[in-house]
């Protein structure tokens, strides 16, 4: 079954900012398929170099053939959902770095970007690490992660860090030529004004509203989280609510990253990105 921009949208943005919660809510709708971060973006990243650049097979591909091959990956992976007429929400934090490709393949698709105050994203990751002290997480790339300062340096690395990479990708998309494809959703708004945010997303996508139940949400990926060394990383609480607590970060770390929320600065929204 062919997939088009009306049959697929994307979820991206920062980690620990509500993307799993958003997917858990959307999937209550029987006409929607959504979940945690999936493998399609990685598959695209593996296939594309074989069809372009210095690859020996590059001469066999023109833009039209490349587009067909790339779209076929989406269609093959989401085949069952498409066959049942479902609307696909494919989640991956790297989609914001691939807006030109997504625009070429699915010009009508939107990218919902979940965001959160960066210090609280860092805080949430650190909280998960301390909650699982007998696990060694694979989210870190460097060796010097034996204390909070080393761990924060690792996750904020702009090239490969868990937070730094998607933050940079989102900023690129925010100021890029396809910024109009973005729908930015603040975490605080999602958990305190859930009904209005979900209805707003439906309206932005031109979808018929659905009566979601925000007090009975169930979603988890236990096997994936165990392999990652972060049990309950993608477990969603049954009731949507804001957890009020103090940060566990040293104050110097918290203040260092306090001014990274560019989506809150109207003067920086030069492309008119829709922010909720």
Mean pLDDT of 60-79: 94
pLDDT at 123 over 90: yes
- Of residues 92 and 243, the one with the higher pLDDT is 92
User: 220: pLDDT confidence band, cut at 50, 70 and 90?
Assistant: low
| Percentage of residues in the chain having pLDDT higher than 70 | 88
pLDDT in tens, 84-113: 999 999 999 999 999 999 999 999 999 999
189-203 pLDDT per residue, tens: 999 999 999 999 999
Is 2 within a domain? Answer: no
35/80 Cα distance (integer angstroms)? 15
Count how many domains the chain has.
1
In a domain, 232, yes or no: yes
Task: Tell me, yes or no, whether 84 lies in a domain.
Answer: yes
Q: Which domain holds residue 171?
A: 8-275
| Residue 257 counted as domain residue | yes
Measure the CA–CA gap between 80 and 86, rounded to whole angstroms: 9
Q: Residue 128 above 90 pLDDT? A: no
> Does residue 253 or residue 224 have the better pLDDT?
253
| CB-count burial class (<10 Å; 0-12, 13-18, 19+) for 247 | middle
Mean pLDDT along residues 131-137: 72
- Over the chain, what is the mean pLDDT? 89
Residue 77 lies in a domain: yes
CATH number at residue 57: 3.40.50.300
Assign 208 a pLDDT band (cuts: 50, 70, 90): very high
In a domain, 200, yes or no: yes
Strand order through the sheet with 32-34: 32-34, 87-91, 8-13, 111-115, 182-186, 274-275
pLDDT by residue (tens digit) across 17-48? Answer: 999 999 999 999 999 999 888 899 999 999 99
Reported as a single tens digit per residue, the pLDDT across 15-25 is: 999 999 999 99
Give the whole-angstrom CA distance, residue 232 versus residue 26.
Answer: 20
């Amino acid at each position: 079954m062919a997939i088009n921009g009306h049959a697929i949208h994307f979820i991206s943005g920062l980690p620990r900012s509500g993307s799993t919660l958003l997917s858990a809510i959307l999937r209550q709708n029987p006409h929607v398929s959504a979940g945690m971060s999936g493998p399609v973006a990685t598959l695209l990243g593996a296939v594309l170099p074989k069809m372009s650049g210095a690859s020996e097979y590059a001469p066999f591909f023109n833009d039209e053939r490349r587009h067909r091959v790339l779209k076929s990956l989406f269609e093959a992976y989401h085949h069952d959902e498409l066959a049942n007429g479902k609307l696909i929400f494919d989640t991956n934090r790297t989609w914001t770095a691939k807006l030109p490709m997504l625009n070429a393949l699915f010009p009508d698709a939107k990218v919902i970007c979940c965001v959160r105050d960066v210090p609280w994203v860092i805080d949430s990751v650190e909280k998960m690490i301390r909650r699982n002290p007998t696990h060694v997480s694979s989210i870190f790339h460097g060796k010097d992660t034996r204390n909070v300062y080393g761990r924060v340096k690792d996750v904020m690395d702009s090239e490969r860090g868990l937070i730094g990479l998607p933050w940079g990708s989102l900023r690129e998309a925010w100021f890029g030529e396809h910024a109009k494809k973005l729908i930015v959703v603040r975490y605080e708004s999602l958990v305190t004004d859930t009904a209005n945010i979900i209805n707003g997303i439906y309206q932005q996508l031109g979808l018929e509203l659905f009566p979601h139940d925000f007090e009975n949400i169930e979603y988890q990926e236990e096997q994936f989280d165990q392999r990652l060394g972060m049990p309950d990383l993608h477990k969603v609480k049954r009731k949507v609510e804001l957890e009020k607590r103090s940060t566990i970060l040293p104050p110097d770390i918290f203040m260092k990253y306090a001014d990274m929320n560019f989506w809150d600065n109207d003067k920086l929204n030069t492309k008119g990105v829709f922010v909720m």
